[in-house]
Structure 1
Amino acid sequence: MTLGLLAAIAATFSWSLLYIFPGLVGDYSLFDLAVVSYAFAGLGSLLVLFVYRNKVRHLRLSDWVCAALLGFLGYIGYFFLITTAVLAAGPVIPPVMMGSVPIVLAIAGNMRSSSVPWRAISGPLVVAALGISLVNLSVFDARSATAVPPTTSILFGLLASLLAIGFWTGFGLLNESALARRPTMSPMLWSAMLIFMCSVEMLAFIPVGLYLKLSHFAGHPGGLAGTQALMVCGVIQGLGATLAGAWAWSIATRRLPLALSGQLIASGTIYATTMGLLINQRWPSPTEALGTGVLFVGVVWSIHAFYRRQTLLATRGRIIDVSQNE
């Protein structure tokens, strides 16, 4: 369980970088960053697939189809839904709604596996949800209220946000099942398959992004000038936050119940908030500080609850073994 916890923490930390890099690429858009990062992630996944080439030869078509579906749910489709939600409803409401993903995923995971009694997990869930709400509510300040989208646009953004929540919840559940059906599959190989298929899907979506005018690259006045930040962030995001993050999450998925790993996603909010404050060189607001502290308590409480459950089951198992031997 310890390795699973470390892997989940590593995955959520790497994913928290996704909230930081868009503000570091200058005039380039989130879509431009995604294209560049998936290009590097695809190259990295190809290298991993080459290393595992002997095992790749024995993969079935169903394995690749499953990887493509999961890659679309958890990465490409999720990305475009979030982008659509922000474009339609503005930059405030969608991130607040997406803060519910760790809680929804934890509830869905425990409903399916019943890995821990609800009375033991309900407290950490409520505390974590409160912390996430407080952190996200901090975005509702005077600066974010300068432009209010039309009601129909906001409703469309809300629908896209709900679909995004469904996509990531479905990804978490289906990915756990897919790995359970492939007990001998290396987490690194599985992650490389997912990200490689994501890179292929991103290639297919480039025309869609250009049609929706999501790219700022074509109209950038400097052409290739000023792309250093975009390339550096793309390399780190592609190889670190995307490929390495997927690998760490595959390890966590195999070693932890989804009810716990789902809640650990919430820790990404702590990392992203902390790094954002450091980059902006400011102290947290009272709401941000309170929300981050409450969220930290909820995550630690959740880990303690699952550790306690694991210890209890291990103790019962030893008692049963002793009684049978007697």
Structure 2
Amino acid sequence: MTSSRTLLAGLANGVMAGALWGIVFLVPRLLQDFSPLQMAAGRYILYGILSCVMLAPRWKMVSQQVNQEEWRALFWLSLLGNLIYYVFLAAAVPLIGGPATSLIIGFLPITVLLCASRDQDSMPLRHVGAPVLLSVLGIVLIVCGSWLHTSASSSSPMPSSMWDYVLGILCAVGALAAWTAYSVMNSRWLRRRPHISGHDWSLLTGVITGAQAMALGLPAFFYPGSAGYPPHAGMDWLRFWTICGGVAIFSSIIGNGFWNRAARLLPLSLSGQMIVFETLFALLYSFLWEHRWPTGTETFAMIFLVTGVLWCMAAHRKQA
């Protein structure tokens, strides 16, 4: 049974992870002249290099704690939770905007809750159904409000056609599916391997992700068929690698470390709710980028999201 203090510690780690992960929704806007494949490859190549540097002094000790089965798990976790997820996300944001993308991915509490319903320490669906449905209502409101704002504002990304909007929705749903699989698998592996710290698990994930991202380097940076994207000068590449490096450090290494601690401290039925904080911070950063206040619909949606998480946490505290 999870104690009340453990739940609060897990909540704090989840909030910090969300604050750092929300940054990634701005990257497609800061690097809109680069392709989604280039953004994913750049971020995760640097994530891998930095992880190797940080693990190097302790590599012998850490590597002895990981067997062949765990390396295979890290391979799939890296592919799902990093490369596939981020390519879909980076493709969706320019097409439908940051708020709509972040809120579609905000369906994660629902998808994770359904996957976790049979876990031993998860709350029964009947106890957490109402708060989760409240979060769903917030998601529906924000997606509708974001679409109306996008249509009315020239400062927001405007799909050139209905097909672009549909494609953006499909990319966001693909990111949701990849992150659901990652979240469930990662939480279960962390619970099965308590001898590996959340920080080391994040760095090991980074090593594998970096190796996978190297395979993306050739088509991302050297394939001449990057249609629709202009050639880049030296200062463009400096901006690109600086932003990718910042995201690798703060969102990947530090943010993943916070998330792994939250996933280990919280039941899976509650850890899925923590993704709401990524959504909320992504919305905040989007509003700051667009120099606007949230609309009434967006404000109510965020209230519903936060209330849903706190309600769900209260149910778990009562159980504890």
Where on the TM-score scale, by shorter chain, does this alignment land: which range? 0.7 to 0.9
Letter in 1 for 2:231: G
Is the Cα contact below 8 Å between 1:10 and 1:245 reproduced in 2? yes
Equivalence for 1:148: 161
Residues 125-176 of structure 1: CA distance to partner in whole angstroms, max 9, x if unpaired?
Answer: 01111112222222212256652244xx877766655443332222122112
| Alignment partners' CA distance in 2, 1:214 and 1:180 | 44
**Aligned mate of 2:231, from 205, 219, 236:** 219
Task: Tell me, yes or no, if structure 1 residue 99 matches structure 2 residue 106.
Answer: yes
Q: How many residues align?
A: 303
**Aligned mate of 1:42, from 44, 48, 52:** 48
Letter in 2 for 1:309: Q
Which residues of 2 match residues 173-188 of structure 1 at below 5 A? 173-188=184-199
| Alignment partners' CA distance in 1, 2:101 and 2:294 | 21
Q: 1:279 to 1:95 in 2, by over 3 A?
A: closer
Equivalence for 1:194: 205
Residues 269-323 of structure 1: CA distance to partner in whole angstroms, max 9, x if unpaired?
Answer: 211111222233221111111111221111221222212211xxxxxxxxxxxxx
Which residues of 2 match residues 72-83 of structure 1 at below 5 A? 72-83=79-90
Residues 7-36 of structure 1: CA distance to partner in whole angstroms, max 9, x if unpaired?
Answer: 111111111111123222363344333333
Q: 1:167 to 1:184 in 2, by over 3 A?
A: same
**Aligned mate of 2:306, from 296, 309, 316:** 296
TM-score (norm: length of structure 1): 0.82
Equivalence for 1:248: 258
TM-score (norm: length of structure 2): 0.83
Task: Tell me, yes or no, if structure 1 residue 28 matches structure 2 residue 39.
Answer: no
Long gaps (5+) in structure 2: 1-5
| Alignment partners' CA distance in 1, 2:176 and 2:145 | 21
| Alignment partners' CA distance in 1, 2:194 and 2:159 | 52
How well do the aligned residues superpose, as a CA RMSD in angstroms? 2.7
**Aligned mate of 1:166, from 158, 161, 177:** 177
| Alignment partners' CA distance in 1, 2:253 and 2:263 | 15
* % identity of equivalent residues: 24
| Alignment partners' CA distance in 2, 1:149 and 1:137 | 15
Long gaps (5+) in structure 1: 311-326
**Aligned mate of 1:285, from 279, 295, 308:** 295
Q: How far has the Cα of 1:99 moved from its partner?
A: 2.9
Q: How far has the Cα of 1:79 moved from its partner?
A: 2.3
Q: How far has the Cα of 1:3 moved from its partner?
A: 2.1
Q: How far has the Cα of 1:182 moved from its partner?
A: 1.4
SS in 2 for 1:173: helix
Is the Cα contact below 8 Å between 1:132 and 1:266 reproduced in 2? no
Equivalence for 1:67: 74
Q: 1:106 to 1:42 in 2, by over 3 A?
A: same
Q: 1:272 to 1:158 in 2, by over 3 A?
A: closer
